[in-house]
Structure 1
């Protein structure tokens, strides 16, 4: 397939995915922040907490709508732009997405209306339950989507069926409890909690700088500081766990992220700074910290982190093995009862995807020369400089968020909301967690290349049979539409923030409401 066509297909999906992920993490985090704020309102009965909850609920609603709209586009793109991928792996990949729609999306749709319009119709506890179910639905949605994505990163619980020429589920439990999917889920939702906490913290700091809405701003800041500190610590710790799963399932991604060109003696050191040279296979001006990478990646002092060149050599061996499976598949197409071909496929089918890498440069992989096999093995190396710097920028922002929330927690505990230097820092930090989240997806998805399904289906074989003109039209169209939606959402949020909480946003108590108790100021 034309590499330029594949790159256009990847670019279109990448832009829609990155744009969609601007909304998802804020929805994940704000939903549970609303639960915390409303819990305080239910326990205390103080109207100020009702005012706080309803204000942040409006921002949640604006973001929620855009997240749903952009997510639906991505669902359709699997069929329109990646039809061979959908056909080849739809039995496995489609199941979590279907469950996400039936369980999570319907759960959100059922309760989101009650959350927004039920303030004066439900009791306090009833409305809190509706808010909690919306939060649960948003996080369940993320779980099932990341189970699907985790299977693409680590395709367990499935096998290739030579009769249907597709991947099929053999163990759905393995798909569900895929360690890569579980690590990605907890790390992703933690990042979402950090983003929402920074949003609440930054807007609250802006109000205090403007000398407006002091009561709402201080309470919002206190909740964001404590929730954000826990979330930022979790994001770093769970990010470390996500890195640990790479040492078992995606060794090439780990080596590329660390620019580990060669296998170093255990325990390997980590390069905190340097300039990877993809041509010379060295990292220039490298600053290394001994032992750290070995401890993070292997949890030991005696297990090496395998380098890129050694992994390429292994990929070359897997391509040779995969060619045996490829030839067996061709034989089974001609004669489904060929027992020798079935036996050969059974022995080598785990390497079949590596033989398919040769399709990038030739129609018949069985005719590949040793030089072509070596070139295909080097295609398994992703863009090392981009991954190296994207990961370090993401990690640096993560540690900066810990420092920000730690200071915020101390100041809120001491009730020192008048520190102008900190308020300015909180406002300036608003875009940082979004940048980190987008960089995280760049590391996760670019690091998987050249695979649509790691080790199973090369990206070059996954797209639909579209034309470049069709891709350019839709790419420009999506960019214009999403750009317009971004301007609208940003304008709505800015307008909501400028307006501030509604001073008269109160309602008479309903029968069954809990009595007010001064548990929280």
Structure 2
């Protein structure tokens, strides 16, 4: 296969993004769990809850540091590998990223220091406030990043200026409250909450199987089960909202997720299992559930969901319009001061399809003279590979329902005070939980694959193709940086896993009597040399 700068740049960004998101969901979820646990500690004054916060806080800290290390390079890639994209959308895209750095990242970074080093310097309530500030900062950080990403999925509140060749903000309110961005935010952070809950459940299950730190393990399970069960349910509900938004704004993504080649009468069936064939543009076989897809995606019985073939035909019309817009844009760029009002009006009438005109550039130097074969090829380039999209989505959904089931089981046993039954009679549930620790990360990565690969060939949906956004680099340059990132990120991942395993094996700090408890016991007449240490 011939290597090119576009595919290598995409591979590099995908690799760094997927690596980075190994750390993000656990950071988001653990920050909230730490705040909840410390709230219980402040309310009850029981030292065991403080030990829990410190133990899970250590694992949070390891994950937080490596998340920051892997995330910093991603923003630099916009300038290194995607220079034209950065120039094209800098006025829009830069604002959320800047706010994320100034408002969210500095907030969480400042209070992370107070969380780790402020135990003996702050009062209980002051330290609790710092912990909640870390949690809020972490979630705010996700909000602004997802506002930027959501704008790429559904660009609103901005228009293209042919004189500056840039997108310019017309309504920051629309950018901020973009429905796609809001749906992505709540869905993503809920997935992070599930990731943290499953992680805490898995580690606690391992302690129960080992017969170690049982009181901390059971309390951690109780918090994680309730938190995880509610979050897992919300992921499904919010995922449904994301699917609804995709039907409104990214119809091709939805059609490829469902391997829906032909438009069906409403309400459309849901393909439970299928074998998509991209070459022949059909499914070799499919097991369908009637009506389900139409109800989920449209929330109605009479709204039609267009299939892939119909959407490709629609694209051909927009490609022809885009070619006209592209031609008018070249004339404006050649002499902006003297471009006639007729040329500008022609551009304005077809500007909404300009991105589709760019799809012809890999096939011809002049889109206005494109042949039917070239238009057909450009139209089919709007279809992502259906097979990986179809099964990535179903892996994610299957994991989601498994999380609901597993957290519901632990919620039942913890709320009825029967967690010891798991250790004594149903150890197989604990074993399943330990082996399930990686599943939330698999689900999250599948979700991001569907979200990002599903909007190809667009780097900005329907406005700018990915192939038009790259920097002027050589294949060798991108290959060298790609190899460097693979080596660096793989090393960081090994360090992360090794440190996590090390501190999980060490476990929470051993319990020591409260300073206040010693004089109290002595004043009661007990011998100072025989003060018992309460068992966990």
Using structure 2 for the length normalisation, give the TM-score: 0.93
Unaligned segments of structure 2, at least 5 residues = 517-535
CA deviations on 1:354-374 (whole Å, 9 max, x unpaired) are 000011222222221122111
Q: What is the match of residue 56 of structure 1?
A: 56
Q: What is the match of residue 421 of structure 1?
A: 428
Q: State the distance in 2 between where 1:251 and 1:422 align.
A: 41
Q: What is the match of residue 69 of structure 1?
A: 69
Matches within 5 A, 1:29-44: 29-44=29-44
Q: CA deviation at 1:383?
A: 0.8
Aligned pair 1:327/2:327, yes or no? yes
Q: What is the match of residue 240 of structure 2?
A: 240
Q: Assess if the C-alpha contact under 8 Å between 2:3 and 2:475 holds in 1.
A: no
2:437 to 430, 436, 454: 430
Q: CA deviation at 1:175?
A: 0.7
Unaligned segments of structure 1, at least 5 residues = 510-520
Deviating runs (4+, > 4 A) in structure 1? 504-509
Q: CA deviation at 1:3?
A: 6.8
Matches within 5 A, 1:26-425: 26-336=26-336, 337-417=339-419, 418=423, 419-425=426-432
Q: State the distance in 2 between where 1:335 and 1:24 align.
A: 48
Q: State the distance in 2 between where 1:341 and 1:261 align.
A: 38
SS at match of 2:274: strand
Q: What is the match of residue 515 of structure 1?
A: none
Q: Do the aligned partners of residues 318 and 490 (structure 1) sit closer, same or farther apart at CA in structure 2, a change above 3 Å counting?
A: same
Q: CA deviation at 1:109?
A: 1.5
Q: State the distance in 2 between where 1:351 and 1:226 align.
A: 48
Q: CA deviation at 1:389?
A: 0.5
Q: What is the match of residue 480 of structure 1?
A: 487
Matched residue count? 509
Q: Do the aligned partners of residues 271 and 506 (structure 1) sit closer, same or farther apart at CA in structure 2, a change above 3 Å counting?
A: farther
Q: State the distance in 1 between where 2:189 and 2:259 align.
A: 27
Aligned pair 1:495/2:497, yes or no? no
Q: CA deviation at 1:322?
A: 1.1
Q: CA deviation at 1:425?
A: 1.2
Q: CA deviation at 1:123?
A: 1.1
Q: State the distance in 2 between where 1:338 and 1:409 align.
A: 69
CA deviations on 1:184-221 (whole Å, 9 max, x unpaired) are 10000000000000000000000000000011100001
Q: Assess if the C-alpha contact under 8 Å between 1:51 and 1:505 holds in 2.
A: no
Q: State the distance in 2 between where 1:77 and 1:96 align.
A: 17
Q: State the distance in 1 between where 2:326 and 2:72 align.
A: 36
Q: Do the aligned partners of residues 148 and 3 (structure 1) sit closer, same or farther apart at CA in structure 2, a change above 3 Å counting?
A: farther
Q: State the distance in 2 between where 1:488 and 1:507 align.
A: 35
Q: Assess if the C-alpha contact under 8 Å between 2:392 and 2:450 holds in 1.
A: yes
SS at match of 2:288: strand
Matches within 5 A, 1:437-448: 437-448=444-455
Q: State the distance in 2 between where 1:56 and 1:228 align.
A: 16
Q: Assess if the C-alpha contact under 8 Å between 2:147 and 2:178 holds in 1.
A: yes
Q: Assess if the C-alpha contact under 8 Å between 1:55 and 1:500 holds in 2.
A: yes
Greater Rg over alpha carbons, structure: 2
Q: CA deviation at 1:329?
A: 0.7
Q: CA deviation at 1:508?
A: 5.3
Q: CA deviation at 1:415?
A: 2.2
SS at match of 1:303: coil
SS at match of 1:168: strand
CA deviations on 1:403-433 (whole Å, 9 max, x unpaired) are 0000111111222222312111110110111
Q: State the distance in 1 between where 2:362 and 2:23 align.
A: 35
Q: State the distance in 2 between where 1:312 and 1:505 align.
A: 69
Q: State the distance in 2 between where 1:264 and 1:446 align.
A: 25
Q: State the distance in 2 between where 1:131 and 1:251 align.
A: 41
Q: CA deviation at 1:506?
A: 7.8
Q: State the distance in 2 between where 1:426 and 1:357 align.
A: 47
Q: Do the aligned partners of residues 290 and 17 (structure 1) sit closer, same or farther apart at CA in structure 2, a change above 3 Å counting?
A: same
Q: Assess if the C-alpha contact under 8 Å between 1:120 and 1:507 holds in 2.
A: no
Q: CA deviation at 1:273?
A: 0.4
Q: State the distance in 2 between where 1:20 and 1:507 align.
A: 41
Q: CA deviation at 1:507?
A: 7.0
Q: What is the match of residue 516 of structure 1?
A: none
Q: State the distance in 2 between where 1:425 and 1:237 align.
A: 25
Q: CA deviation at 1:285?
A: 2.3
CA deviations on 1:292-318 (whole Å, 9 max, x unpaired) are 100110010000110000000110000
CA deviations on 1:32-84 (whole Å, 9 max, x unpaired) are 00011001101100000000111000000000000011110101011111111
Q: What is the match of residue 461 of structure 2?
A: 454
Q: Assess if the C-alpha contact under 8 Å between 2:92 and 2:158 holds in 1.
A: yes
SS at match of 2:230: helix
Q: Do the aligned partners of residues 165 and 121 (structure 1) sit closer, same or farther apart at CA in structure 2, a change above 3 Å counting?
A: same
Q: CA deviation at 1:469?
A: 1.1
Q: Assess if the C-alpha contact under 8 Å between 1:3 and 1:460 holds in 2.
A: no
